[in-house]
Structure 1
């Protein structure tokens, strides 16, 4: 018995030592002050801390309570908070040019503020060692250069589907015939005009980003990290992995190189118990509940008066109860409960929720699909149009155009989703497909993160497409060569044929001349 206990203690000690040896020091760098983005990154970082890794996180969202193995570097004072700050008028006018200006030009300015923060300056001057650097892939590669500074493997994360420049950085196939870019309201079934627009925009954005984002960001990085750092393009191309917040069931089936890994729904965990007043309100709804939220940025109370009245009048006629993320609206119907902030995933997880009225943000649509809740989509800007179109094509969503909002259209959309069982059935079916994976999104992300750490980077996952010039990737040189061969062959054949015809004609002419000459002599 004593020998058994001794061996057990020895085994436990060995496991503990192995765990300690395998623990890595990970630096997470996230410059953007967007909570909806950070939710995904935070989930992975907490998961890695729970695995015993020493995680250091630079962000605008420090933890409210200390977490074991998780250390915050707080830079929230560098940029103003933007949670619940967008008006409807501002959101609906964020057209493509405005969006590109934001994610390129403004983000470079934001990065400058972040680099000037004392905590970032301290990190620049430090001699700390890290086994891995994780950054966000968005409009600009703001903090990517830190991977070079610390000579550590690098993983990039995007809170959406891959941007066109992210695909290029990893050599990830992104054929414009059926893969719409992030900003267009297209599905993978595009007509000629849509494919033409998709192609032109993709080409234009790749070249424009180089001048408006890559060059100024590279200058900024060299200003703070030294003039000898490699180009950001070179650093980015050596990134080991890209985690993308997508899944083929909800987005589009598309080819991915090994270095691009889908982890859609990474932020989704176990639902928590609802606050008592909210729980009582939802469970007391005999006809079910409609949940209404426009995300973490847009304030519903800024709807124009006539649209706000349309929602309230429509809700007052419903037998269902409505939970609405909004604040400061007076004269609400008795069946409506409002709050400035609500635990969205926990609400959508409740079996009494029947419809979700949403702006169509990436996280929101994933949470609805995960829980099998059909939607009414009011897309406002950015990828929301594409997300809603995708959900409409899967018959789990009814689109409600912002400019067509009135009492009748709101009621029609709600009653269509409630009364047509197709939407509920398709939402439940898609939920099963979305959940059906060999590993959860968290398990997948943790495995590949530790994979990169174990192998001290993953250059073997890097596609050779990254090193090809654009004309090589498109095989234009091969096509031109084949065309030249074909044209040359045609010209040679044509010339040879003409020569042959000329020779034959001369032969025939000569024979006829000789024959005629003989006849003349015989006469």
Structure 2
């Protein structure tokens, strides 16, 4: 990812933009994606930095504005499980330590990359190149594409702000006329099936496609399948579309189920409109997203393998026959939508707040200025242990001296 950032800074238009002294900005919003090199842009323009995170809050991003989370009760964003068994706690601890080690090892390279990217730009502007840590840990705020209803109730610093759902329109756009008619006429409801933009229909084996069509043909519900190809012998209740207005579909009164890959944007939209899901994750944070949805009671999880069609048939029946999934989705939707202001307006408010307050220093966590050994009280514990050891040595010496003195006195008496 660091190499990607370096390559992107070689783009002529970006170089021209960064090297133009006339360009001035009030704030820089940089997305964290396994590198912090984007933070240097705020140094170029001498303005506050706001981090943006596309996932639920996790220890790697929070360490940029606060400190590492305790792995005993928080999950890594790439975790495929969602339980705190003894073995899972060992895994979470190991994963956390591994990520810390990776960052420590990668720091030297990132320092060099930071200097390579920004040194000439800053020199032309008459600025010195600051230390990399001074830049990446100097953020005023972090905007997280997350919501408490999708994640866990963990303690967060004052300058982490949930803005999950900001991409969802306040007023849902109307459906295309043909799709509106399909959904309106769905007497038994509509099942929407989309695996996002990453998994194309061409990536699904033909045998699995045929089995899925067979499963859908057995349903009395109407199925809308986001599918980029054409297939022969499509059942009458199945409509394949290369593109679908997902938010508008999920907002329709006749939607009864959403089959999804479990991307965070889809999960947020699901909660916005209160629709139960069947999650079929296949990479990155999708496993954790779906596992959380299952734990919260509005989802079933399947694995994407040769048994997926058979498992899907069972999962669809379970969700449609058990009203608790739909009820739980509606309960969480109420919690998701019960806000003082929409997430888009909150996003704008906090960005403006950072600009107005000169970087919002009053929101920053004091944890950034405390060494790791001080956070663990290792210095104090060391002093206490040294004191105890010293006391033991003194007592042993005193008792030994006293004992020797008594023995000498007894010999003299004899």
TM-score by length of 2: 0.90
Matched, 1:222 2:118: yes
Please state how far the C-alpha of 1:420 moved relative to its aligned partner.
Answer: 0.7
Matched, 1:168 2:63: yes
Matched, 1:137 2:32: yes
Matched-pair contact (CA < 8 Å) for 1:310–1:405: no
Matched, 1:191 2:91: no
Task: State the Cα deviation string for residues 345-369 of structure 1 (Å, max 9, x = none).
Answer: 1111111111111111011011101
Greater shift in the superposed pair: 232-241 or 353-362: 232-241
Please state how far the C-alpha of 1:491 moved relative to its aligned partner.
Answer: 4.4
Task: State the Cα deviation string for residues 61-111 of structure 1 (Å, max 9, x = none).
Answer: xxxxxxxxxxxxxxxxxxxxxxxxxxxxxxxxxxxxxxxxxxxxxx22322
Matched-pair contact (CA < 8 Å) for 1:291–1:323: yes
Unaligned ranges ≥5, structure 2: none
The secondary structure found in structure 2 opposite 1:169 is coil
Task: State the Cα deviation string for residues 348-403 of structure 1 (Å, max 9, x = none).
Answer: 11111111111110110111011110110111110001101111111111011123
Please state how far the C-alpha of 1:175 moved relative to its aligned partner.
Answer: 1.1
User: 1:124 matched to which residue of 2?
Assistant: 18
Q: 1:428 & 1:437 partners in 2: Cα distance? A: 16
Unaligned ranges ≥5, structure 1: 1-106, 518-523
Matched-pair contact (CA < 8 Å) for 2:302–2:308: no
Query: What are the equivalent positions in structure 2 for 1:65-104 lying under 5 Å apart?
Result: none
Among candidates 356, 370, 379, match of residue 468 of structure 1? 370
Query: What are the equivalent positions in structure 2 for 1:278-357 lying under 5 Å apart?
Result: 278-331=179-232, 332-357=234-259
The 3 A distance-change label for structure 1 pair 321 and 301 is farther
Q: 1:322 & 1:122 partners in 2: Cα distance? A: 50
Q: 2:283 & 2:68 partners in 1: Cα distance? A: 26
Matched-pair contact (CA < 8 Å) for 1:376–1:397: yes
Matched-pair contact (CA < 8 Å) for 1:379–1:388: yes
Q: 2:325 & 2:400 partners in 1: Cα distance? A: 70
The 3 A distance-change label for structure 1 pair 406 and 444 is closer
Q: 2:146 & 2:28 partners in 1: Cα distance? A: 22
Task: State the Cα deviation string for residues 419-460 of structure 1 (Å, max 9, x = none).
Answer: 111111111111111122233212322221111111121122
The 3 A distance-change label for structure 1 pair 476 and 186 is farther
Two-structure CA RMSD over aligned residues (Å) = 2.3
The 3 A distance-change label for structure 1 pair 427 and 496 is farther
The secondary structure found in structure 2 opposite 1:488 is helix
Matched-pair contact (CA < 8 Å) for 1:108–1:216: no
User: 2:164 matched to which residue of 1?
Assistant: 264
Greater shift in the superposed pair: 132-141 or 466-475: 466-475
Matched-pair contact (CA < 8 Å) for 2:208–2:306: no
The 3 A distance-change label for structure 1 pair 364 and 499 is farther
Among candidates 426, 435, 440, match of residue 342 of structure 2? 440
The secondary structure found in structure 1 opposite 2:64 is helix
Among candidates 80, 102, 108, match of residue 2 of structure 2? 108
Q: 1:329 & 1:504 partners in 2: Cα distance? A: 102
The 3 A distance-change label for structure 1 pair 193 and 124 is same
Q: 1:308 & 1:473 partners in 2: Cα distance? A: 54
Among candidates 240, 253, 258, match of residue 153 of structure 2? 253
User: 1:391 matched to which residue of 2?
Assistant: 293
Please state how far the C-alpha of 1:296 moved relative to its aligned partner.
Answer: 2.0
Q: 1:192 & 1:132 partners in 2: Cα distance? A: 44
Among candidates 267, 277, 283, match of residue 178 of structure 2? 277
* Structure of higher CA gyration radius: 1
Please state how far the C-alpha of 1:131 moved relative to its aligned partner.
Answer: 1.3
The 3 A distance-change label for structure 1 pair 116 and 506 is same
Task: State the Cα deviation string for residues 303-358 of structure 1 (Å, max 9, x = none).
Answer: 12232222111101010111111111412222111222211111111111111111
Matched-pair contact (CA < 8 Å) for 1:243–1:261: yes
Q: 1:231 & 1:122 partners in 2: Cα distance? A: 24
Q: 1:498 & 1:329 partners in 2: Cα distance? A: 93
Please state how far the C-alpha of 1:210 moved relative to its aligned partner.
Answer: 4.4
The 3 A distance-change label for structure 1 pair 422 and 505 is farther
Please state how far the C-alpha of 1:150 moved relative to its aligned partner.
Answer: 0.8
Please state how far the C-alpha of 1:170 moved relative to its aligned partner.
Answer: 0.7
TM-score by length of 1: 0.72
